[in-house]
Amino acid sequence: MKMKNRLIFILFLIQSNFCFSQAGEWTWMSGSSGAISSLGNYGIQGIANSTNVPPGIYAGVYWTDLNGNFWIFGGVRGQLLNDLWKYEVASNQWTWIKGSGGIVDQPGTYGTMGVPSIINNPGARGYGAVSWTDDNDNLWLYSGYGFDKYGNVGPLNDLWRYNISSNEWTWMKGIDTISTSGLGGNYGIQTIESSANLPNARDETNSFWKDFSGNLWFFGGGSALCNDLWKYNVSTNNFVWMHGSSGFVQPSIYGIKGIPNPLNTPGGRRCYTRSIDTNGDFWLFGGLESSGCLMDIWKYTVASNEWTWMDGPDSVVILGNYEAYCEASDTTQPRGKWENRACWSDTCGNIINFGGLDNYSSTLSDLWYYDITDLNWRWIGGDSTLSFAGNYGTQCIMSPSNKVPARCGTCNFTDGSGNCWLFGGMSGGSTFNDLWKYKITDTTCFSSCFRYSSPPPPPPNELFIPNVFSPNDDDINDFFIIKANGFDSFHLMIFNRWGENVFTSNDSKIHWDGKLNSTKMNVSDGTYYYILELNDNNNKPIVYKGFLTLIR
Task: Mark residue 179 as left, alpha or beta (left: phi above 0; alpha: psi -120 to 50; beta: remaining).
Answer: beta
Residue 189 CB partners (closer than 8 Å, separation 6+): 241
**Which among 333, 394, 423, 380 has a CA at the least distance from the CA of 64?**
423
pLDDT for 379: 93
The CATH number that applies at residue 151 is 2.120.10.80
Final residue of a domain: which of 445, 480, 504? 445
Task: Mark residue 277 as left, alpha or beta (left: phi above 0; alpha: psi -120 to 50; beta: remaining).
Answer: beta
Same domain? For 238 and 101 the reply is yes
If you count them, how many residues does the chain have?
A: 552
Sign of CA dihedral 139, 142, 144, 149: positive
Share of the chain above pLDDT 70, in %: 92
Answer yes or no: is 177 within a domain.
yes
* Whole-angstrom distance, CA of residue 99 vs CA of residue 86: 12
Burial of 215-224, coded b for 16+ CB within 10 Å and e otherwise, reads bbbbbbbbbb
Answer yes or no: is 10 within a domain.
no
pLDDT for 331: 87
Answer yes or no: is 34 within a domain.
yes
pLDDT for 223: 85
* Whole-angstrom distance, CA of residue 76 vs CA of residue 429: 11
pTM: 0.79
Answer yes or no: is 454 within a domain.
no
H helix or E strand, kind and range, residue 261: none
* Whole-angstrom distance, CA of residue 407 vs CA of residue 36: 13
What residues of the chain score a pLDDT lower than 50? 1-21, 451-458, 460-461
Beta 292-301 vs 282-289: how paired, if at all? antiparallel
Same domain? For 429 and 515 the reply is no
Same domain? For 234 and 316 the reply is yes
Answer yes or no: is 1 within a domain.
no
- The pLDDT tens digits for 36-83 are 889 999 999 999 999 999 999 999 999 999 999 999 999 999 999 999
Angle among Cα 540, 546, 552 to the nearest 5 degrees reads 130
Instruction: Give the count of domains, the chain.
Output: 2
Same domain? For 397 and 483 the reply is no
181: number of Cβ within 10 Å = 5
Same domain? For 440 and 485 the reply is no
* Whole-angstrom distance, CA of residue 226 vs CA of residue 209: 17
* Whole-angstrom distance, CA of residue 310 vs CA of residue 351: 14
239: number of Cβ within 10 Å = 27
* Whole-angstrom distance, CA of residue 166 vs CA of residue 164: 6
Final residue of a domain: which of 389, 412, 445? 445
The beta strands (E) that lie in 118-167 are given as: 125-126, 130-133, 138-142, 145-147, 153-155, 159-163
Same domain? For 83 and 164 the reply is yes
pLDDT for 260: 97
Answer yes or no: is 18 within a domain.
no
Sign of CA dihedral 8, 14, 17, 22: negative
Rg of the Cα trace of the chain? Answer: 23
pLDDT for 448: 66
Same domain? For 356 and 470 the reply is no
Final residue of a domain: which of 445, 471, 491? 445
**Which among 115, 211, 125 has a CA at the least distance from the CA of 163?**
115
Same domain? For 180 and 300 the reply is yes
* Whole-angstrom distance, CA of residue 432 vs CA of residue 35: 5
Same domain? For 426 and 545 the reply is no
pLDDT for 58: 96
Answer yes or no: is 301 within a domain.
yes
pLDDT for 92: 95
Same domain? For 489 and 415 the reply is no
Q: Give the burial class of 453: count Cβ atoms within 10 A of its Cβ; 0-12 exposed, 13-18 middle, 19 or more buried.
A: buried
Do 7 and 378 form a contact (C-beta atoms < 8 A)? yes
* Whole-angstrom distance, CA of residue 344 vs CA of residue 246: 29
301: number of Cβ within 10 Å = 14
* Whole-angstrom distance, CA of residue 278 vs CA of residue 117: 38
Q: What range does the domain containing 432 cover?
A: 24-111+118-445
The CATH number that applies at residue 516 is 2.60.40.1220
Answer yes or no: is 6 within a domain.
no
Same domain? For 434 and 480 the reply is no
Burial of 441-452, coded b for 16+ CB within 10 Å and e otherwise, reads ebeebbbebbbb
Same domain? For 480 and 433 the reply is no
